Amino acid sequence: MSEAANLPLLKVNDIHVYYGAIHAIKGISLEVNEGEIVTLIGANGAGKSTTLNTIAGLLKPRQGSIAFAGMPVDGTAASKMVYKGLSLCPEGRRIFQQMTVRENLEMGAFSRPNEEVEASMERVYGFFPRLKEREKQVAGTLSGGEQQMLAMGRALMSKPRLMMLDEPSMGLAPILVEQIFNIIRGMNEAGTTILLVEQNAQMALSVANRAYVMETGRITMEGDADRLMHDDNVRKAYLGS
């Protein structure tokens, strides 16, 4: 077995990120192994989205390192990260409102060879049959749940090794939250490694293998997701019990 096979798929080491003079991320380290679902939970403003955006190449750490598939990637442009096998489904969906469902999905496939786009499309429709039904519909007219499915499907079109999901359940009715998390589980079982940022800590911990807890730009706890779900401090702070 090669050395690379023993390395985590993603390794973030002691990164510091600033917005101007504001020190938003204060030396966090985390790992995601191939095949896992890892979740990052914490209150609003803890730095979860900033962490994902930094890993994705949208922000540059002032200090620390990020390695993906054994190669250093800190400072790599976001578009290049997609070619390396990492995709981000951003908070707030950010779909192309004036384009159809199919056109949005095609935009997610910019890194794929033309001959593979149709197979990726069918794979996405397998996870999201509703998108197949709405294929020609203008994306801005979809319901909130359908727009979330479209954002996830678009991120999946690049056939990522690691898919990062930022608040996929935000603003959705409980029945849709359940559906979205079932799909996340299904995508993982089909071979996609997932790093999940989620306000709904209960759902996130129920689907994840491991978890990190963030508070004000630092990781304060980490470990097996099931163990953290039963930790008194986590329950009081994030699970309302």
Three-state DSSP at 77 gives: coil
DSSP type of residue 42: E
> Is this structure's pTM higher than 0.75?
yes
pLDDT at 116: 81
Q: What average pLDDT does range 15-21 have in this prediction?
A: 95
Answer for the pair 87, 160: CB distance below 8 angstroms, yes or no.
Answer: yes
Residue 3 binned pLDDT confidence (cut-offs 50, 70, 90): very low
| Terminal C-alpha separation, the chain | 45
Q: Does residue 226 fall inside a structural domain?
A: yes
pLDDT at 144: 85
The Cα 166–Cα 204 span in angstroms is 11
pLDDT at 1: 39
Regarding beta strands 37-42 and 210-215, do their DSSP bridges make them parallel or antiparallel, or are they unpaired? parallel
Beta bridge partners of 222: 212
Q: What average pLDDT does range 176-193 have in this prediction?
A: 91
pLDDT at 162: 97
Q: For the chain, how many structural domains are there in total?
A: 1
CATH, residue 47: 3.40.50.300
pLDDT at 105: 92
Q: Does residue 39 fall inside a structural domain?
A: yes
Q: Is the pLDDT of residue 150 over 70?
A: yes
Q: Does residue 44 fall inside a structural domain?
A: yes
Q: Does residue 53 fall inside a structural domain?
A: yes
Q: Does residue 93 fall inside a structural domain?
A: yes
From the CB of residue 151, how many other CB atoms can be counted at a distance below 10 Å? 24
**What would the pLDDT profile of 22-74 be if each residue is shown by its tens digit?**
999 999 999 999 999 999 999 888 999 999 999 999 999 999 999 999 999 98
Select the highest-mean-pLDDT range: 19-28, 108-117, 133-142, 232-241.
19-28
Q: Does residue 83 fall inside a structural domain?
A: yes
Share of the chain above pLDDT 90, in %: 61
Q: Does residue 111 fall inside a structural domain?
A: yes
The Cα 205–Cα 41 span in angstroms is 9
Residue numbers of the domain that contains 223: 34-58+77-239
Q: Does residue 205 fall inside a structural domain?
A: yes
What is the rounded average pLDDT for all residues in the chain?
90
Q: What average pLDDT does range 11-28 have in this prediction?
A: 96
Q: What average pLDDT does range 156-180 have in this prediction?
A: 89
Name which residue leads in pLDDT, 36 or 121: 36
pLDDT at 170: 86
Q: What average pLDDT does range 200-209 have in this prediction?
A: 94
For 224, phi and psi rounded to 5 degrees?
-60, 135
